Amino acid sequence: MNFDFEQLFFYAILICGIIIFTDFLLFSKKRKLNGRKMPAMVDYARCFLPVLLIVFTLRSFIYEPFRIPSGSLKPTLLVGDFILVNKFTYGLRLPILHTKLFAISEPKRGDIVVFRKPPKDSPDLIKRVIGVPGDHIVYKDKQLFINGQAIPQQFEKYDMDQRDNYDPWQVAQKQENLLGVTHDIYQIPARENDDFDVIVPKGHYFMMGDNRDDSADSRVWGFMPEENIIGKATNVLVSFDTLTHPIRWLRTGEKIV
């Protein structure tokens, strides 16, 4: 089940505000004259409202935590990673409405971005920016081309990958240089090629997972609209793997590239 914490905080703030305002207009003066005690509901609303406002502001405009739900970005990000998402890197947006107030920068090739899944707003996804508006993207025989330029891949090793209770399978780990952004990817040698040839339209981005043959991304649901952007992934806060390692201590604070 997916929860929209932004809306949850918004409605909690709204309810607290209504309780406090209603009490101020209708009951507080009479209560003071009669020497009566403040109702618990009003007292709780007054205590929670400042905290809710601070958390809501931080989550909406500055930083937001995000949990990696799948292995589509392996080996860069693992299931159970809790990451920090910078909400102001690309500009400030109104909470709930998601309307951009002003731009600061635009997503670049290689950025890992959290966004609302198109065409629906839920659930939130995280992928790597492969193509920006106007780019000609070709993926052929597991080789990526951007604007006619082959993106270098260097084989590192064979590894094993696994999902849930499925049997593990072999993957080839390679280092890819995405026009200056160097990162690792997984490819499944036994999986058929998923070739495509597209041009990224204006106001959209082409997104892919680093786990190239095990990622539902722009190859499946199309281009990511600019208005769906939530923020840029920056660091791993903490990482949990309940099956083998309760906490992956070495990943704590790791910068995301």
SS3 per residue for 47-97: HHHHHHHHHHHHHHHHEEEEECCCCCCCCCCCCCEEEEEECCCCEEECCCC
Confidence at residue 244, expressed as pLDDT on a 0 to 100 scale: 62
Confidence at residue 165, expressed as pLDDT on a 0 to 100 scale: 77
What's the whole-number mean pLDDT along residues 163-176?
Answer: 91
Evaluate if residue 55 carries a pLDDT over 50.
yes
Helix extents (H) in 111-247? 218-221
Could you tell me which of 122, 76, 80 has the C-alpha nearest to residue 230? 122
- For the ranges 91-100, 131-140, 212-221, the lowest mean pLDDT is seen at 91-100
Q: Looking at the whole model, is its pTM more than 0.75?
A: yes
**What residues act catalytically?**
72, 127
Confidence at residue 3, expressed as pLDDT on a 0 to 100 scale: 61
Confidence of residue 176 (pLDDT cuts 50, 70, 90): very high
Question: pLDDT per residue over 104-155, tens digit each?
Answer: 999 999 999 999 988 665 679 999 999 999 999 999 999 999 999 999 999 9
Confidence of residue 1 (pLDDT cuts 50, 70, 90): very low
Confidence at residue 207, expressed as pLDDT on a 0 to 100 scale: 98
